[in-house]
Structure 1
Amino acid sequence: MDNRRSFLQKSLSYAAACVGVILSAPVKALTAADRAYLNSPYGYCDAKKVAYVWGRTVGEAKAVIGNKVLSNLQHLIDQDIQSTRGQVSCTYQETELSYRDAEKLGRYWGRPTHEAKQKATIMVSDMGTKRFRVVMAGALGRR
């Protein structure tokens, strides 16, 4: 019993120390490029595809996208995204679609929700988040 209590106390102390370190870590201020990416129609899957093209991390690719948005060069982002067709796969979570979106798509396509999630994931992986949102806006109830 004492060993378990000692282990538990040490574990709790360690967890508290970790939380303290995390909470005291400096928060990076958003740059103009960060804000441009966040306010753009591009999503995580798009950043993953741009990262592949540029040989960068996804975080760096978000900045690339943001800078191109600020420079009104979205056509270059779209070209990068399309150039990765069949080379970069995204997960359903990376599509940034909700379960409710999958339900709507399932009704639109006449498929069960789990099949709609699979189909949407394949489509976003092929065409990117921005283009998928445009193509499926009616089905998702977003105009």
Structure 2
Amino acid sequence: MRSINRLVFVLMVLMLARPSAFAADTMSLDLVDTPPLINEHVSFEAEIVDLVLNSSGEVVQVVGSACERCDKKRYLPSRGLRLVRDGTDVLPEAIGGLSGSSATILINKATGMAEQVRFFAAKAGESHEN
């Protein structure tokens, strides 16, 4: 009976000691090797998105509003701004035709810049170029 109690005691000690040692290793790896991936971005669903272009056709500002009478929110584009429609990147020559469409704007919390604009799929009968 005494050997069973010792065995149970040893197993309990091993079970309690092992997770804490593993957690300490994992925590140190997370803190040193990987940047935090949670909550880096916030999204804004806009009924109307306008893309402000410069004379070269580059996006210099993303303007969105949740409704026609709502206040407009303005974002500077990040260097790697992606414009996506129907799951594919929009070609530069088609950017001008996107203004006025509905989209989700993905904003980097740290910089406040728009990193991606995902335009909703075209309605039936509507045509668009990607």
TM over 0.5: no
TM-score of the two chains, using structure 1 as the length reference: 0.27
Q: Which has a greater percent of helix?
A: 1
Indicate the structure (1 or 2) with the bigger Cα radius of gyration. Answer: 2
